[in-house]
Each structure stands twice: as C-alpha cells, then as structure tokens.
Amino acid sequence: MSEELIQHWNTYFKEKGVQHIFFSAKMEQEKLDEASESDSLDSEEESDEEEKEFEPMFDELKKKIDIENELKEEQGIEFHKEKEDEKVAEKFEFNTI
C-alpha cells in the first residue's frame, strides 16, 4: 500500500476506534528470501568443504573395493573352473566293485 493509502486507513480505523497495525508482507518476504539465499550459499560452501575433506578417504576406499572385486572375480573364475572339472571327472568315474 502506498503511504497515502496507509494514512487514509489509519485515520478511518482511529475514527471507528479500531486498534490496528499495518504490516508489509512484501518487505518481510524479501527479508526471508535474502536470508534463505544466504543460508543456501553457506550450506553449499560447507558441503563442498566436507566433500574435499573426505575425498582422500573415499579414494582409498574405492581402491580397496576395486582390489577386492578383482580378487573375487579371479577366485570366482577359478571356482567355476574347479566345478566344471569336477563335473567332467564325475562323468568318467567308474564303479569298480
């Protein structure tokens, strides 16, 4: 509302004996928006800092997992070969009683 309109309504409410206040939601919303923007920028900066802090640990963990997966794959291949060899051997077993 314009200042003139506020004065008009102020006079009217006073004449009628109505207690009142005028509040600008627009100004308050602008304050909230500014605070929110500031908070989101701060949290993004903190998040980036945390990622950088833990990055070496994650890199080390990734390396360990990759090594474990490679070993499991190698063992899995060997395990499958052993199973196949056992199946072939079973086919050629003879009962000698």
Residue 83 has pLDDT above 90, yes or no: no
Domain boundaries, the chain: 25-91
- pLDDT tens digits, one per residue of 17-74: 999 888 778 888 888 888 888 776 666 667 777 777 778 778 888 888 888 888 888 7
Task: Outline where DSSP puts E strands in 9-49.
Answer: none
Name the amino acid, one letter, at 76: G
Confidence of residue 16 (pLDDT cuts 50, 70, 90): very high
Residue 10 has pLDDT above 80, yes or no: yes
Counting other chains too, the contacts that 89-93 makes at CB distance below 8 Å and 24 or more residues apart are: none
CA distance 96 to 22: 106
Q: And the tokens for 88?
A: 């072939």
